[in-house]
């Protein structure tokens, strides 16, 4: 959906973002994962001193190879955030970016306790450590999945949460913890509701149970036909990880966003069928339409896309990476890095 509101201020990219992060101490939790590592690499470009914390837990998307061996002016801690000592690692952080979480909806059904650990218990440990060190801003990577089946489109932040699976409930709880730590303890948290995110450094092995884009890309790279469930006309927002990082940095650059929740979104929702066609065209594989598997039918949300007007009004953010070029560049990345999909 094209967003009609015009931003009140210049988009905080370029000089404004560089100034906001150059020389600043930023902690990225989950920083060896897909979105976390993209944040770290961008922050290094901007001259920030980055502290990475990641437990590299099995079955998650974290990968030590997502970041270089050492960081200029930064540190990598392979630590589970539920263990003691997080507070000491985070001490002095001026920005905390929290991308710790369990992403797979399917896995949340088969391992609900594991999902609870990552999306709820780990979040309390993070927030407790943050409460004690009082960083000026904590940005939480939440999900639009909390809305469940959209009662209206595009979805605004006013739509009540009605998740359809354990992952949605736990992610909403984690998001609510961030709101409560703001309201009760005055911790300046900002909550983002991300859409399906794609791009380089996403584990396609783990990712194949996380979302439609990594699933299609992995099958295409293996030369397997892309399987579209049902009619394939269900439309979704898909966001390139660079745009997600742009949103995280934008909300962290201004105190105006403290305590608020923001949707990300796209200018044009895309159907699963069209997405498959684009990836099939790029890779030369076939497509097939098959009946929706029973185990997924009950958690399918149908059409779902979000309005990002509120985020645009607050920060000027809007998605920049076009779908065709973003998908082509992503496939090119994985062709150059078969270790992400050949189990290497
Ligand atoms: N990828 C998407 O499409 C998407 C969409 C919406 C929201 N999100 C949210 O963004 C966040 C990051 O997603 P991602 O795709 O980068 O996932 P990811 O699995 O690639 O990264 C998550 C990282 O968190 C780490 N982690 C998990 N539990 C931990 C713990 N207890 N201690 C230390 N580290 C721990 C994992 O090792 C992993 O590296 C998640 O919270 C997810 O819910 C992602």
Compute CA distances 35 → 3, 29, 59, 152, 215, whole Å: 24, 10, 16, 28, 17
pLDDT of residue 6: 40
pLDDT of residue 13: 56
Q: How many helices (H) and strands (E) does the chain have?
A: 14, 13
The ligand 1 atom nearest the CA atom of 63 = 39
Residue in 100, 175, 95, 98 with CA at minimum distance from that of residue 137: 95
Dmax of the chain from CA atoms? 54
The ligand 1 atom nearest the CA atom of 117 = 31
Pocket test residue of 101, 108, 248 for ligand 1, highest count of atoms within 8 A of CB: 101
Q: Which helix (H) or strand (E) holds 228?
A: strand 226-229
* Confidence label for 15 from pLDDT (cuts 50, 70 and 90): confident
Domains and CATH numbers, the chain: 14-340 (3.40.50.720)
Judged by DSSP in three states, 2 sits in: coil
Residue in 205, 206, 227 with CA at minimum distance from that of residue 216: 227
Q: How far is the CA of 77 from the centre of ligand 1 (A)?
A: 16
pLDDT of residue 5: 42
**56 has a pLDDT exceeding 70:** yes
Backbone angles phi, psi at 238, to 5 degrees: -130, 125
d(CA 243, CA 227): 27
**237 has a pLDDT exceeding 80:** yes
Answer for the pair 280, 220: CB distance below 8 angstroms, yes or no: yes
Q: How far is the CA of 5 from the centre of ligand 1 (A)?
A: 31
The average pLDDT across 46-55 equals 97
The average pLDDT across 75-100 equals 98
Tell the residue nearest (CA) to atom 32 of ligand 1.
80
Compute CA distances 325 → 237, 240, 280, 320, whole Å: 16, 10, 14, 11
The fraction of the chain above a pLDDT of 90, given in percent, is 84
What would the DSSP string read from start to end of 39-78?
HHHHHHHTT-EEEEEE---TTSS--GGGS-SS-TT-EEEE
Q: How far is the CA of 119 from the centre of ligand 1 (A)?
A: 9
- Burial code of 13-28, b = ≥16 C-beta within 10 A, e = fewer? beebbeebbeebbbbb
Predicted TM-score (pTM) of the model is 0.95
Tell the residue nearest (CA) to atom 2 of ligand 1.
197
pLDDT of residue 154: 97
pLDDT tens per residue across span 324-340: 999 999 999 999 999 88
Compute CA distances 228 → 180, 289, 334, whole Å: 40, 5, 21
Pocket test residue of 60, 139, 262, 275 for ligand 1, highest count of atoms within 8 A of CB: 60
Pocket of ligand 1 (CB under 6 A): 30, 32-36, 54-57, 60-62, 80-82, 99-101, 103, 118, 122, 141, 143, 171, 194, 196-197, 211
């Amino acid at each position: 959906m094209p967003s009609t509101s015009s931003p009140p201020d210049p988009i905080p990219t370029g000089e404004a973002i560089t100034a906001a992060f150059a020389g600043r101490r930023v902690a990225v939790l989950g920083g060896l994962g897909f979105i976390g590592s993209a944040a770290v690499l961008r922050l290094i470009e901007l001259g920030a001193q980055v502290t990475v914390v990641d437990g590299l837990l099995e079955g998650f998307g974290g990968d030590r190879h997502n970041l270089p061996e050492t960081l200029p002016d930064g540190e990598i801690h392979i630590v589970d955030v539920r263990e003691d000592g997080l507070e000491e690692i985070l001490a002095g952080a001026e920005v905390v970016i929290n991308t710790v979480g369990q992403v797979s909806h399917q896995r949340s059904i088969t391992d609900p306790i594991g999902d609870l650990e990552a999306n709820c218990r780990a979040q309390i440990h993070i927030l407790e450590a943050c409460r004690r060190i009082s960083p000026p801003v904590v940005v939480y990577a939440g999900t639009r999945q909390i809305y469940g089946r959209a009662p209206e489109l595009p979805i605004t932040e006013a739509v009540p949460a009605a998740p359809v699976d354990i992952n949605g409930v736990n992610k909403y709880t984690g998001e609510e913890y961030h709101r409560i730590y703001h309201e009760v303890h005055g911790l300046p948290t900002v909550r983002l509701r991300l859409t399906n995110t794609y791009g380089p450094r996403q584990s396609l092995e783990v990712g194949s149970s996380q979302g439609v884009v990594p699933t299609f890309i992995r099958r295409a790279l293996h030369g397997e036909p892309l399987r579209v469930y049902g009619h394939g006309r269900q439309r979704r927002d898909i966001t390139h990880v660079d745009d997600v990082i742009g949103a995280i940095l934008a909300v962290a650059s201004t105190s105006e966003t403290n305590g608020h929740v923001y949707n990300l979104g796209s200018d044009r929702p895309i159907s699963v069928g069209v997405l498959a066609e684009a990836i099939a065209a790029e890779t030369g594989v076939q497509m097939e339409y098959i009946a929706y598997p029973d185990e997924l039918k009950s958690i399918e949300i149908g059409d779902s896309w979000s309005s990002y007007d509120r985020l645009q009004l607050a920060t000027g953010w809007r998605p920049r990476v076009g779908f065709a070029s973003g998908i082509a560049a992503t496939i090119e990345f994985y062709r150059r890095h078969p270790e992400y999909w050949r189990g290497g």
